[in-house]
Chains A and B, each alone.
Chain A
Amino acid sequence: MNESLVTVVRGVIAFLTLLILTRVLGKQQIAQLDFFEYVLGITIGSIASSLTIDLSIKAFPQWVGLVTWIVAVMLFQHVTIRWRAAAKYINGEPTIVIMDGKIMEKSMRSLRYTVADLLAQLRQKDVFDPAQVAYAMVETSGQLSVLLKPGFQPVTRNDLNMAGPAEIVNPELIYNGVIIEPNLQRAGVDRVWLKQQLQGQGVHDEGEVFLATIDAHKQLYIDVFQDRVASFVDIDDEPQKRVK
């Protein structure tokens, strides 16, 4: 038995299998991965390395194990993209840890998140005083998102036009074609108003909408499934063959 040759062949099989299946998984960035997905990545990598160099086990069962883990991730992704409730259950939700400059101790305890962690992450966002923070929330990835109080936000073009900065996190009114009723109530609008707004922007049914959010001024941001882009920027090497 030529062990080096077998290792090379198994290595090629593991490499190309990972390449093909991770391309199918999508382009989620490492920074966006939550802890579970991070562990999944390590496990999949470990199985691939075992498939390559552990010649004491047949290649096929190890390959099946590798494919099983990747397919399991795909299924999870599919479920979390398709069903919002499942996504919330599986991935969790962002948690507010500072509201109007006040640290939410109960939320911090439930996250097992220390004040030292919070202050360190605030400093990484160039915030050295929690009193300057309107909202700070820990995302499902573990990263901290910070919204400063208006007085501590940098001046923007909108400010120069005297536009008031929003102090709320824009709630999602429609996700994946489904209206989110609790967010409608929270934003102080109703279905009739929403449908009027949609029709005003040329959308006749909420099923056409991938994402709709609302800001403090009741301005709607709408992204439809069928993107209507006037000047399409194509970065494909073969733009003439791209399906429009």
Chain B
Amino acid sequence: MKRWIKSLIPAVILLIFALIMTSDWYWKKPRGPHNDVAMLLQKVRDAVLAEDWAQAKADLQQLDSAWRFVITRVQFSVERDEIRGLTLSLARLHGALLAEDKTGALMELAQAEEHWIDLGK
């Protein structure tokens, strides 16, 4: 095997590793409205502010599936605790919507948004 190829192979492997581990910014980007987490968080917030609980619950269902989709893509490059934090925030948001608790829902939404921003940082 030629010497330059011998040197190139490990360099390429290390570069691929670095790309895998820093690709969260790319995988966080939505591939359509159905998995746009930031947009869906905003939709839930608007519904909660309008106290439209049925709409808020429907939007939260969509947000949940969008988040599950994003987890599978970002899991190799982000912290487990950030993933867990956002998942728990959404779980608590479910409870707040069931109770039709506007304050609690807004608090959980704010926390979820913070986790989303921090994801991959």
Contact = CB atoms under 8 A, between A and B. Distances in A.
Interface of A: 1-3, 5-6, 9-10, 13, 16-17, 20, 23-24, 55-60, 63, 67, 238, 241, 243
Contact of A3 (B13, B78, B80, B81): B80
B75 A2 contact: yes
Nearest to B121: A58
Given A17-B14, A20-B10, A59-B77, A1 B83 contact: yes
Q: Which of A6, A23, A58, A63 has the most CB of B within 10 A?
A: A58
Contacts of B10: 20, 23-24
A6 B22 contact: no
B13 to A, nearest CB: 6
Interface string B53-76: 000000000000000000110011
B75 A16 contact: no
Contact of A58 (B17, B72, B77): B77
B79 interface: yes
Interface residues of B, number: 22
Interface of B: 1, 3, 10, 13-14, 17-18, 20-22, 71-72, 75-81, 83-84, 120
24 contacts: A1-B71, A1-B75, A1-B80, A2-B75, A6-B75, A6-B76, A6-B80, A13-B17, A13-B20, A16-B13, A16-B17, A17-B14, A23-B10, A55-B79, A55-B80, A56-B79, A56-B80, A56-B81, A58-B77, A58-B79, A58-B120, A59-B21, A60-B18, A243-B3
B17 A17 contact: yes
Contacts of B18: 60, 63
A17 B76 CA distance: 16
A57 B79 CA distance: 5
Contacts of A16: 13, 17
A60 B79 CA distance: 10
B51 to A, nearest CB: 33
Q: Which of A3, A10, A13 has the most CB of B within 10 A?
A: A13
Contacts of A6: 75-76, 80
A77 B75 CA distance: 37
